[in-house]
Amino acid sequence: MSRICEITGKKVMSGHKVSHSNIKTKRKFYPNLQMKKIFIPEENCWITLKVTPKGMRTITKKGIMACLDNSIKKGLIKL
């Protein structure tokens, strides 16, 4: 499975690891993804999402249904 937040769309970034002697080697920066089980009261069911902490704050602020609708429009979640 891909390492992409299903709410915010954050994904893996690439960059350099820089040593003390300033030698640069390629590396990856991974998002802090968490598997969260969230209850949807409108549909009376549970769903499991891979979200970052920023995505969790967004869900708390806007509500789960608004976030899911936005994610479906962006193409982050396929039903």
pLDDT in tens, 47-76: 999 999 999 999 999 999 999 999 999 999
Q: What is the pLDDT of residue 54?
A: 97
Q: What percent of the chain has pLDDT over 90?
A: 94
Neighbours of 7 (CB within 10 A): 26
pLDDT band at 78 (very low <50, low <70, confident <90, very high): confident
User: Domains along the chain?
Assistant: 13-74 (2.30.170.40)
